[in-house]
Amino acid sequence: MTLDQIKQAIENNERVFWSNLAYEVIRDSIGQYLIICNLNDWCIGLTWLDGVTMNGDESEFFIHP
């Protein structure tokens, strides 16, 4: 998924994951897109500080019902 596809899916209330179901992409209360580990609450930004380069390959992101 592209960055725009991920953001659109989250806006559409779809659940987006990275690599496996332990890593969910969320939008927090101040509008940041984060990848959060559901096993230990560790998180990183969806993108680097440039706001474009994703922390993961596009092919590793997916929507799960």
DSSP assignment, residue 46? S
- Among candidate residues 51, 50, 62, the one with its CA nearest the CA of residue 22: 62
What is the per-residue pLDDT for 30? Answer: 97
Domain-by-domain residue ranges, the chain? 3-64
Q: Tens digit of pLDDT for each residue in 5-62?
A: 999 999 999 999 999 999 999 999 999 999 999 999 999 999 999 999 999 999 999 9
Helices (H), 1-44: 3-11
Q: End-to-end CA distance of the chain: give it in Å, rounded.
A: 16
